[in-house]
Amino acid sequence: MKQPVRVAITGGAGQISYSLLFRIASGEMLGADQPIILHLLEMPVALEALKGVAMEIDDCAYPLLHDIVMSDDLKVTFTDVEYALLVGATPRGPGMERNDLLRINGDIFTKQGKALNDYAKRNVKVLVVGNPANTNAYIAMKSAPDLDAKNFTAMTRLDHNRALSQLAAKTGSRVTDIKKMVVWGNHSATQYPDISHTTVAGKAAKELVDQEWIVNDFIPTVQQRGAAIIKARGKSSAASAGYAALEHVRDWAMGTGDNWVSMAIPSDGSYGIPEGLIYSFPVTTKDGEYSIVQGLEIDEFSRARMDATQKELEQERDAVADLLA
Ligand code: NAX
C-alpha cells in the first residue's frame, strides 16, 4: 500500500466541500490505492459545523481515509500537504464593490500563500476554487516565492464541463464524443468558451452549429450559468463545482492522455497572454505536469474575446498590487 498523502481543503464546512470531501475520501480523486489524510480548515465560527461533517465522513468508514485533521490554524492545515484545494472565501455581500471583494479575499490568500510557502511539501499542487478564483490564485502564488509558480492553479473546469454539456445537448451527442473544448481566461462572465477547435464525433463543431447560436446562446449560457443556477436553486453551484474541482486535481495528478481540459494557470506567454497572469488555457497533463496546447490558430473573433477577459484579469491584478508589495 502507498503512504498516505495529506490533502488540505479550506472552507471544509461549506456547501462545495459537503459534496467534495466525501468523494476525495472515497478515492475518486487520487485513485483507489492512495490512502488519504484530510486537513480541513475553517473559520473559528464554523468549526463546530465542520466537526459534524467529519462525523459523517467517519460514518462512511472509507477504507482509504487514515485521518482527519481539523483546524482554524494555517500551520496545522498546510503542514506537509501535497494537495491544497482552496475553496473557502468571503462571498460578495450586499452593497460590496468588486474591488472590496478582491481586497478582502486578497488578505486571505496572501496569508494562505505564505503558509503554503512555509509549511507545505515542496511539490504541493494548489487549486483555488474560492472567488475571484484566478486572482486569488495569483495572490497565493506571489505570496509563496519558494514554491514553483506552476503549482498554483484556479478552477475553470466547471465552465469547461458546462460548455461540453451545452454543446452535447445542441448537437444531440454524448459529452464523450466531444474533444478539444477550450475555455480561455477568467472564471467570470468575461470567460471565453471556444469551440473553434472542438470536434464532435470527429466532425468540426463549427460545421454542426451556426455562428448565431455560438454568439447569442452558447457563449452567454456558459458565461451566465452560475447566475442561472443561483436564480433557480436559490444557492450557488455546489455539487457541480465540487465535482469539477475533483476532476481538475485528478486529471492534473493522473494525466489526461490526449484529451484537452481547461485549467487557469500562470501564463508562460503563450498566445500573447502576459506572463504570470492566471489565465485559463487548454492543457494536457502527464506525470503530474500540465502543458498548454500549442499552435492553435486564433481568429479575430476569438482574439477579441481572449483580449477582453485578459484585460479584466489585468485590472484585478492591478487592484491588489499593493497587497503584494
Ligand atoms: P460556502 O459559503 O457554502 O462555504 C465557504 C466556507 O468557507 C464557509 O464554511 C466559510 O466559513 C469558509 N471560509 C471562508 N473564509 C475562510 C477562510 N479564510 N479560511 C477558511 N475557511 C473559510 O461557499 P461555497 O458554495 O462552498 O463556495 C466556496 C467558494 O467557491 C466561493 O468563493 C464561491 O464563489 C466559489 N465558487 C467557485 C467556482 C469556480 O468555478 N471557480 C464555482 C462555484 C463557486 O461559486
Per-residue pLDDT tens over the stretch 159-191: 999 999 999 999 999 999 999 999 999 999 999
Confidence of residue 153 (pLDDT cuts 50, 70, 90): very high
CATH of 5-154, one of 3.40.50.620, 3.40.50.720, 1.10.150.120, 3.40.50.300: 3.40.50.720
What distance lies between CA 197 and its chain's CA centroid?
22
Q: Which three cell numbers stand for residue 168?
A: 452535447
Asked whether residue 92 is marked as a ligand-binding residue, the answer is yes
ipTM value, please give it.
0.98
pLDDT of 100 above 90: no
* Ligand 1 atom at minimum distance from 11 CA: 7
Domain 156-320 has what CATH class?
Answer: alpha beta
Q: Is 248 a catalytic residue?
A: no
7 residue type, one letter: V
Segment 219-277, tens digit of pLDDT: 999 999 999 999 999 999 999 999 999 999 999 999 999 899 999 999 999 999 999 99
Specify the DSSP class assigned to residue 218: I
Place of cell 448565431: 212
pTM greater than the 0.95 cutoff: yes
- Confidence class of residue 97 from pLDDT cuts 50, 70 and 90? confident
Residue 324 has a pLDDT of: 92
How many A from CA of 212 to the centre of ligand 1? 35
Q: What angle do CA 176, 177, 183 make, to 5 degrees?
A: 75
Domain-by-domain residue ranges, the chain?
5-154, 156-320
Instruction: Provide the grid cell at 246.
Output: 475533483
Q: What percent of the chain has a predicted confidence (pLDDT) above 70?
A: 100
d(Cα 147, Cα 75) in Å, to the nearest integer? 16
**Three-state DSSP class for 196?**
coil
